[in-house]
Amino acid sequence: MITNTEFLLNYESAKNHQLSLERIVDEKGKKLTEYPKGLMGLTPDEIKNTAQWKTDKKNFELAFSKLRSFNAFFTKKYKKERAAIRKELLEKMMLTSNNQ
């Protein structure tokens, strides 16, 4: 559940919080991709059994879980704002394509 209410003030602060969470997930995911892979592209079990890999995997899963939780909240709370932005972008695209 979302406990920090600083991003609840408006859409822009919520969107910035979402982008921040996405950057964290990307950062944690990149750490996991730096581990060596086997012939089939999978991380070998001997790597997965190391404390460092387990820590990195747990950190990624925690960050991803926070992002998922936030996205569920964000899409419900700001449904109207997101729809208005999509509509505006679509109208701009239509105007641009009509002018060409």
| Residue 7 belongs to some domain of the structure | no
DSSP 78: T
Average pLDDT, the chain: 90
| Residue 30 belongs to some domain of the structure | yes
| Residue 6 belongs to some domain of the structure | no
Length of the chain in terms of residues written: 100
Q: For residues 36-71, b (16+ Cβ closer than 10 Å) or e, as one string?
A: eeeeeeeeeeeeeeeeebeebbebbeebeeebeebe
Higher-scoring residue by pLDDT: 8, 39: 39
Please state the pTM of the whole predicted model.
Answer: 0.78
| Residue 9 belongs to some domain of the structure | no
pLDDT band at 95 (very low <50, low <70, confident <90, very high): confident
Q: How many domains does the chain have?
A: 1
What are the tokens at 46?
Answer: 């001997």
Higher-scoring residue by pLDDT: 67, 100: 67
The domain in which residue 44 lies consists of: 14-99
| Residue 92 belongs to some domain of the structure | yes
| Residue 2 belongs to some domain of the structure | no
